[in-house]
Amino acid sequence: MYDIKALYEANSVNEAIELMQQHPDAKIIAGGSDVLIKLREGKLAGCELVSIFGIDALRGISMDEDGTLRILPLTSFSHITKDPLINEHIKVLGEAVDMVGGPQIRNIGTIGGNISNGVTSADSASTLHAWDAIVELTSAEGVRQLPIKEYYISAGKVALRPAELLTAILIKEESYAGYKGHYIKYAMRNAMDIATLGCSVNVKLSDDKKTILGARIAYGVAGPVPMRVPAAEEAVRGKPVCGETVDAFAGAAMQNINPRDSWRASRDFRLHLAHELAKRALTESIRLSGGEI
């Protein structure tokens, strides 16, 4: 048995917000793949839970009139991987979340829960950073939007205010049009493991595929929160597609990251991984875009 004081089930966003106002110490539970583990470990003993799992209005992927991709937070990893809009416009996100846990976890785990845990190792987080995702947050005061980099405050902490709910993840057309990307997760095992380091890169090439018009890179586990690497992005903008440019990209990526020592890997090993994965991810993104090294 789980040590739960009370479980409240919301059937709408407004009802969830009201329940959070009435029970300010309650934890939100969606798929439950993370919360139930903490309960089982006794870390949330005696807690109150507000379940939003029954709010179907928070599931699915659609495109707004202006071309913005709208990913709702209760969308499971498996649905993201199979979604036609994701596969057409940002296939790498589906590939990234397909590396989360096993099939059972991917069927129940939600992308909203994955980023709202605030952990740097979340497989969706570095890709969403690399594609300039925006989070939509709803409370009784209304709706506000934040770039995802501002959503992450510190390890395990995000910018949700009291009685506020993540209601969408947005990726604008200018952030995905013409870009192709690749995500690499390095872990000690091939499956069912947390990332030792994650690297997500995307690139936009000129029409003749000879010049990099833009490149973006983000890491997971290269610091306390997922992070973009502006120095690497600037190093290759407008540069020719060649091995020297790839090397410059990987070298510049070292300027903005700050991995730590842990029982999973040393800082030096993570720095080595960051350099190598940047090269590999950019090379594959160029290939996916029709370019050749």
The domain boundary, picked from 174, 200, 234, lies at 174
7-65: per-residue pLDDT in tens?
999 999 999 999 999 999 999 999 887 787 788 888 888 889 999 999 999 999 999 99
What pLDDT is attached to residue 293? Answer: 86
Q: What is the mean pLDDT of residues 207-220?
A: 98
Is 188 found in the same domain as 209?
Answer: yes
Regarding predicted confidence, which is higher, 104 or 88? Answer: 88
Is 34 found in the same domain as 92?
Answer: no
Q: What is the mean pLDDT of residues 127-135?
A: 98
Is 208 found in the same domain as 167?
Answer: no
Regarding predicted confidence, which is higher, 129 or 42? Answer: 129
Question: Could you tell me if residue 89 is inside a domain?
Answer: yes
**Residue 242 belongs to domain spanning:** 178-288
Is 124 found in the same domain as 72?
Answer: yes
Is 207 found in the same domain as 265?
Answer: yes
Beta-bridge mates of residue 197? 186
Confidence of residue 263 (pLDDT cuts 50, 70, 90): confident
pLDDT at residue 201 greater than cutoff 90: yes
Is 182 found in the same domain as 104?
Answer: no
Confidence of residue 1 (pLDDT cuts 50, 70, 90): low
Question: Could you tell me if residue 293 is inside a domain?
Answer: no
Question: Could you tell me if residue 33 is inside a domain?
Answer: yes
Question: Could you tell me if residue 128 is inside a domain?
Answer: yes
CATH number at residue 44: 3.30.43.10
Question: Could you tell me if residue 237 is inside a domain?
Answer: yes
Is 167 found in the same domain as 104?
Answer: yes
Q: Total domain count for the chain? A: 3
CATH number at residue 282: 3.30.390.50
Among 76-85, 87-96, 117-126, 188-197, the least confident range: 188-197
What pLDDT is attached to residue 105? Answer: 86
Is 170 found in the same domain as 65?
Answer: yes
